[in-house]
Chain A
């Protein structure tokens, strides 16, 4: 199994630009999670899908952030417009309700 796959691994963009992060969960996992990690705030849950349906998006910072899961093997996290304070590492994780597995993360830098 290839594990959770995220792309791109690094993204550098200018303030105001749209950013799209992508995630492919482990096959057979029915839950998908998007997290953000910063030195100041640690690891924060942004949104959680179960069977492709968003269950809890209370962690999404504001309307500039949106996430979709059009099918069981793909999810996107979009930031539009991006701001310097969005700079962080964004992780995607998946599970079947038990042990959770993380992807390698996308390091986002907004200048």
Chain B
């Protein structure tokens, strides 16, 4: 059974810092990996999707990498802003077409 772990569970940084969020998974036979953002009281917004054959994806200040063989993904946020404060979740899709989610990292960027 796939298990997804996100470390750290919470992170507080001053504005302007570059930061890395980590995601690890136990079964490397994944179809893709997706990073989401969730603001308090809101739904999940898809940030980046990495196919199993890809190593990374970039969108603006966000860069997600994937090392399938080691079961790891990272989400890099450059020049963090207070508006980046949210919970970030990673999810992996296996062949059964279902996503398995990590517990999330709650990020606070202080002005």
A residues contacting B by CB (< 8 A) are 31, 33, 42-43, 45, 48, 50, 55-56, 91, 93, 97-105, 107
Contact = CB atoms under 8 A, between A and B. Distances in A.
B44 A56 contact: no
A100 B99 contact: yes
Interface residues of B, number: 20
Interface string B64-94: 0000000000000000000000000101010
17 contacts: A31-B97, A42-B101, A42-B103, A43-B101, A45-B99, A50-B97, A55-B97, A56-B98, A91-B43, A99-B34, A100-B34, A100-B93, A101-B46, A102-B36, A102-B46, A105-B42, A105-B43
Interface of B: 32, 34, 36, 41-46, 49, 89, 91, 93, 96-99, 101, 103-104
A86 B91 CA distance: 24
A48 B104 CA distance: 22
